[in-house]
Chain A
Amino acid sequence: MYFVFISLIIEIIFSGGLFLNKNKILLFLANRFVRFIILLIFVIVLSFILIDMSPIDPIKTYIANKVVSPDQVAALQSYWGVNEPITVKIVNWLGNIVQGNLGNSLIFRAPVIDVILDRFVASLVLMFSSWVISGVLGFVLGIIAGFKRDTFVDKLIKYYCYILQSAPTFWIALIVLMIFSIYLGWFPSGLGVPIGSLSQNVTFFEWLNRLILPAFTLSILGVAQIALYTRDKLIGEMSKDYFLFAKARGETGWSLIKRHGIRNVLLPAITLQFLSFSELFGGAVLVEQVFTYPGIGQAAVSAGLRSDVPLLLGIVIFSAIFVFVGNTLADVIYNFVDPRLREGD
């Protein structure tokens, strides 16, 4: 199965002397990037206004947590532009961001950028592993369900997907935690790194041990969307004329699916999987919270609950970049890898 995927991807990308048009892609990416920067400014302004509306006072929060000198308060006030109109505050803050200064996290007592990088790496490992597992598993299940349409196997897969799609992520995480950590005792439960400390002092094995359950939870949840999509897409392709003709030429059963089905469903499915970065992040936030996994999601929740405004805003920016990367990759695949589209104009 793996072999079929990989050989097909390679064949579709490199076949027949056709190659990706580099200049066209670069132009496309530049265009996307400019749009994204403008979009990001919108997002930052919007988030800033929302935070500004809220009863949260970042300076009070800061002072409440720690003894601070008047100098530090003054520095903080000038950073936030307290007592200035909101327009000035926003311009100030945007200026700081452009200079790469995201401020200091109030709860981690460290520069926001350091906290985010540290946490994001942990989350990326979690998200990437479950993204790959759910993608491959979902695709395989979808192909099986579509191939065995209306049989018992198809129904089983379909109902599994419907139920998981309707299941709250955090509840599934709780159930997984109960079964594997508490009932079976296979994994540690709720013994995460205390909030506020960086994860550097955790050994690799401890960390891997804590990765398995969250990754498992995100994987079994992520399967649903891609499996249902692949199933419907395959059934759609199977009703097309070229499938009928392949049948008329004596191709049957699994080889028909392998030769024509997977070939035509694979690209759209991969595209969809790249478009799911936003949900993936959302899932990670909830799962990290339940399993106290020291990732970016958990940091976001702590930042929100404990009014760590600079960290929260920083995470918003990085999550937007993350989603942008996914969407752009999906667009590149969609527009440049499919031979029908990459040849056109």
Chain B
Amino acid sequence: MSENLLDVYNVSISFIQYVKGLNQKNLKVISDLSLSIDEGEIVAVLGSSGSGKSLLAHAILGILPDNALLNGEMYYKGELLNPESKERLRGDDIALIPQSVNFLDPLMKISEQVIGECDSEEEEKELKAKQRKIFEKYNLGEEVDDMYPFQLSGGMARRVLVSTALLSNPKLVIADEPTPGLDEAALEETLNYLRDMANNNVGILLITHDINAALKVADKIAIFYAGYVIEIANIDDFKNNGENLLHPYTKALYHALPDVDFKLTEGHQPLRDEINDYCPYLDHCPHCVDKCDSEIPKLVKHGDKYIRCFKYTE
């Protein structure tokens, strides 16, 4: 086991749901997810919206809902993440940048909110000064301190959300869909904040459904398909007509980009509970082998990257 800033091994997350009558069943949202992030590295998890990839962020921070079941192991700087260590690390070493202003307490003033909980007045003063400095840097005036979240404009809200992450000097920042519905300039701005942090040696997990955002800023991209990470590619693989990309889905994604071929992929992603014991991409795959319809391939190392496909396991 190599020791990175964050190592995630075989994480699965599932929920308990009703089916027919009085029966309940397990609904798997994330299956067998592994990835790692190094200091100063930006790793994007790219998947369609509503596919449950945010739950990975919640799992790392230990804030999954009660009816969620978490399997697998996660390590922060080699330390096993369990409920206790997560509680200690979150908001301190590990910070979250949430996706919208809804993640701020609607009845608490911005400054108080960004500063967070304080044990003493000295600490509060210190943090207040720090908050002011960060706000200055992000061009947020003094008047913002006393505003309520509903009074923030879209751009201000985004900068406030980013500021919350910087207050504690985190080593790992998880940005959960920080770019939905942004125009080109705002997108650029947000990604620059992330790049900035990474340049200061912070590791960043960027969870997004926006392939453009991921391509612009990430070092590695983990492709999330039907609950599985099917490939972890380097950013350079998305150049040269994508010839270094391994998985057929990743290739299809790449060719669907407007400035590449704009070729639409057909078919739908299987629903989460449709996949039982065969490759999740079976229905669309151009080069299936026998095993594909009877076994789920494992995520394996292939050169300096990872792939979940029987074509590369032999």
A and B bound? yes
What residues make up the interface of A, taking CB atoms closer than 8 Å to B?
12, 15-17, 239-242, 244-252, 255, 259-260, 263-264, 338-340, 343
Please, what's the 1-or-0 string for B85-116, where 1 marks a CB less than 8 Å from any CB in chain A?
00100111001101010111111110000001
Picked from A12, A250, A255, the residue with its CB within 8 Å of the CB of B107 is A12
Q: Is the CB of A260 within 8 A of B91?
A: no
Picked from A16, A240, A244, the residue with its CB within 8 Å of the CB of B63 is A244
Q: Is the CB of B109 within 8 A of A15?
A: yes
Ranked nearest first, the 4 interchain pairs of A and B with the lowest CB-CB distance are A250-B91, A249-B91, A245-B103, A248-B96
Chain B, residue nearest A17 (CB): B146
Tell me, in angstroms, the Cα distance from A340 to B101 when the chains sit together: 14
Q: Is the CB of B150 within 8 A of A340?
A: yes
Q: Is the CB of A242 within 8 A of B104?
A: yes
Picked from A241, A249, A264, the residue with its CB within 8 Å of the CB of B116 is A249
Q: Is the CB of A250 within 8 A of B116?
A: yes
B26 interface contact, C-beta 8 A = no
Q: Which residues of A lie under 8 Å from residue B92 when comparing CB positions?
A: 250
Q: Is the CB of B108 within 8 A of A263?
A: yes
Q: Which residues of A lie under 8 Å from residue B146 when comparing CB positions?
A: 15-17
In the assembled complex, the CB of A99 is this many whole angstroms from the nearest CB of chain B, namely 48
Q: Which residues of B lie under 8 Å from residue A239 when comparing CB positions?
A: 65
Tell me, in angstroms, the Cα distance from A82 to B24 when the chains sit together: 71
Q: Is the CB of B107 within 8 A of A248?
A: no
Chain B, residue nearest A344 (CB): B150
Q: Is the CB of A264 within 8 A of B107?
A: yes
Q: Which residues of A lie under 8 Å from residue B95 when comparing CB positions?
A: 248-249
Q: Which residues of B lie under 8 Å from residue A343 when comparing CB positions?
A: 150-151
Q: A242-B102, A343-B151 are in contact. List 16 more A-B contacts (CB 8 A).
A: A16-B109, A245-B96, A245-B98, A245-B103, A245-B104, A247-B63, A248-B58, A248-B96, A248-B98, A249-B164, A250-B117, A251-B91, A252-B87, A259-B105, A260-B105, A340-B106
- 22 inter-chain pairs at a CB distance below 8 angstroms, sorted by A residue, are A15-B146, A16-B109, A239-B65, A241-B102, A241-B103, A242-B103, A244-B58, A245-B96, A245-B103, A248-B63, A248-B91, A248-B96, A249-B90, A250-B90, A250-B116, A250-B168, A251-B117, A260-B108, A263-B108, A264-B107, A339-B150, A343-B150
Q: Which residues of B lie under 8 Å from residue A12 when comparing CB positions?
A: 107
Q: Which of A242, A251, A340 has the most CB of B within 10 A?
A: A242
In the assembled complex, the CB of B74 is this many whole angstroms from the nearest CB of chain A, namely 15
Q: Which of B95, B98, B107 has the most CB of A within 10 A?
A: B107
In the assembled complex, the CB of A317 is this many whole angstroms from the nearest CB of chain B, namely 39
In the assembled complex, the CB of B305 is this many whole angstroms from the nearest CB of chain A, namely 30
Q: Which residues of B lie under 8 Å from residue A252 when comparing CB positions?
A: 87
B75 interface contact, C-beta 8 A = no
Q: Which of B63, B91, B105, B106 has the most CB of A within 10 A?
A: B105
Q: Which residues of B lie under 8 Å from residue A244 when comparing CB positions?
A: 58, 63, 103
Q: Which residues of B lie under 8 Å from residue A241 when comparing CB positions?
A: 98, 100, 102-103
Chain B, residue nearest A8 (CB): B107
Chain A, residue nearest B91 (CB): A250
Q: Which residues of A lie under 8 Å from residue B289 when comparing CB positions?
A: none
Q: Which residues of A lie under 8 Å from residue B58 when comparing CB positions?
A: 244, 248
In the assembled complex, the CB of B106 is this many whole angstroms from the nearest CB of chain A, namely 6
Q: Which residues of B lie under 8 Å from residue A339 when comparing CB positions?
A: 107, 148, 150
Tell me, in angstroms, the Cα distance from A246 to B113 when the chains sit together: 9
B61 interface contact, C-beta 8 A = yes
In the assembled complex, the CB of B142 is this many whole angstroms from the nearest CB of chain A, namely 12
Tell me, in angstroms, the Cα distance from A123 to B96 when the chains sit together: 54
Q: Is the CB of B103 within 8 A of A16?
A: no
Q: Which residues of B lie under 8 Å from residue A264 when comparing CB positions?
A: 105-107
Tell me, in angstroms, the Cα distance from A246 to B150 when the chains sit together: 17
In the assembled complex, the CB of A270 is this many whole angstroms from the nearest CB of chain B, namely 13
Please, what's the 1-or-0 string for B280-291, where 1 marks a CB less than 8 Å from any CB in chain A?
000000000000
In the assembled complex, the CB of A145 is this many whole angstroms from the nearest CB of chain B, namely 16
Picked from B96, B102, B109, B148, the residue with its CB within 8 Å of the CB of A249 is B96
B256 interface contact, C-beta 8 A = no
Q: Which residues of B lie under 8 Å from residue A247 when comparing CB positions?
A: 61, 63, 90
In the assembled complex, the CB of B233 is this many whole angstroms from the nearest CB of chain A, namely 28
In the assembled complex, the CB of B165 is this many whole angstroms from the nearest CB of chain A, namely 9
Chain B, residue nearest A267 (CB): B107
Tell me, in angstroms, the Cα distance from A239 to B146 when the chains sit together: 26
B147 interface contact, C-beta 8 A = yes
Q: Is the CB of B105 within 8 A of A263?
A: yes
Q: Which residues of B lie under 8 Å from residue A260 when comparing CB positions?
A: 105, 108
Q: Is the CB of A248 within 8 A of B61?
A: yes
In the assembled complex, the CB of B16 is this many whole angstroms from the nearest CB of chain A, namely 15
Tell me, in angstroms, the Cα distance from A278 to B214 when the chains sit together: 58
Q: Which of B58, B98, B147 has the most CB of A within 10 A?
A: B98
Picked from A16, A242, A249, the residue with its CB within 8 Å of the CB of B106 is A242
Chain B, residue nearest A252 (CB): B87
Q: Which residues of B lie under 8 Å from residue A259 when comparing CB positions?
A: 105, 108, 117
Q: Which residues of A lie under 8 Å from residue B96 when comparing CB positions?
A: 245, 248-249
126-173 of chain B: CB within 8 A of chain A: 146-148, 150-151, 164, 168
In the assembled complex, the CB of A147 is this many whole angstroms from the nearest CB of chain B, namely 14
In the assembled complex, the CB of B113 is this many whole angstroms from the nearest CB of chain A, namely 9
Tell me, in angstroms, the Cα distance from A263 to B108 when the chains sit together: 8
In the assembled complex, the CB of B93 is this many whole angstroms from the nearest CB of chain A, namely 10
Tell me, in angstroms, the Cα distance from A251 to B108 when the chains sit together: 15
Q: Is the CB of B105 within 8 A of A246?
A: yes
